[in-house]
Amino acid sequence: MLSRISTRGSFSGSVKIFHAGFDIYLESIAIDDAESLALEANSREIAESIAAVGSFPSPYLIENAVSFIQNAMKAALEGREFHFAIKSMADKSLVGVCGITNVDNVSMKAEIGYWVGKTHWGNGYGKQAASLLLEIAFEKLGLNRVYATVLSFNERSIKLLQSVGFVKEGVLRDSTKAALTASAAFTDDLMFGLLRKDYKPLGAKFDM
């Protein structure tokens, strides 16, 4: 059963969000997504490009997927985090995962994150997913600020954020021990942010 996002920044059940012309839509992550999630996430390139050493399982097993989804569903009920499967409009297959995390209903801000399976890179799915996340954050959760943290060498993600309106706000020097760097050396994190006043509504549709 689909249900509605609350004005207090939480929701229960499943929510879908889509936009005419997009190749993907977002749907609240569910246990049924575990097998597909494990398959798409099982890529060293994904782990190395988005996370600190050890924070994203590699190899990514079905047990990792189930654990992630169970935690994500609990966090959504508590209004702390909202994770979504990125699904193809063509065949409804899972192509990645994205989410809104670190929700702060006092300061009205939250962080977004995303990844797309390697075989789907280059199709614009990440940009479309980020655009839909912003619609949820600003239009449904009523946030004032959305931010993202990116490893300094992740040019693909940096360009994606800039393309949907984020601006670079700062550098956290030697903030993350990243697996992609030589000998898992420390690397800078780049901070990007977008304010509600600078956001242009997408006009996405919700199925709740």
pLDDT tens track for 122-155: 999 999 999 999 999 999 999 999 999 999 999 9
Rounded to an integer, what distance in angstroms lies between the CA atom of residue 122 and that of residue 27?
21
> Does the structure show a pLDDT above 80 at 19?
yes
Predicted confidence band at 53 (pLDDT cuts at 50, 70, 90)?
Answer: low
pLDDT tens track for 163-186: 999 999 999 999 888 765 555 688
> Does 177 reside within a domain?
no
Mean pLDDT confidence for 190-203: 95
User: If we measure between CA atoms, which residue out of 23, 22, 4 comes closest to residue 13?
Assistant: 4
> Does the structure show a pLDDT above 70 at 23?
yes
pLDDT at 61: 96
Q: Phi and psi for 84 in degrees, rounded to 5?
A: -130, 145
CA distance readout (Å), 43 to 13, 52, 162: 29, 15, 25
> Does 41 reside within a domain?
yes
> Does 59 reside within a domain?
yes
> Does 181 reside within a domain?
no
Mean pLDDT confidence for 44-73: 87
> Does 175 reside within a domain?
no
- Structural domain boundaries enclosing 137: 16-146
> Does 8 reside within a domain?
no
> Does the structure show a pLDDT above 60 at 158?
yes
Task: Enter the DSSP assignment of 4.
Answer: P
pLDDT at 11: 55
Instruction: Give alpha helix (H) positions in 14-165.
Output: 34-41, 44-50, 62-77, 125-135, 155-163
Number of folded domains that form the chain? 1
> Does 69 reside within a domain?
yes
Predicted confidence band at 3 (pLDDT cuts at 50, 70, 90)?
Answer: very low
What CATH number is attached to the domain comprising 51? 3.40.630.30
> Does 186 reside within a domain?
no
Rounded to an integer, what distance in angstroms lies between the CA atom of residue 59 and that of residue 67?
15
Rounded to an integer, what distance in angstroms lies between the CA atom of residue 40 and that of residue 186?
27
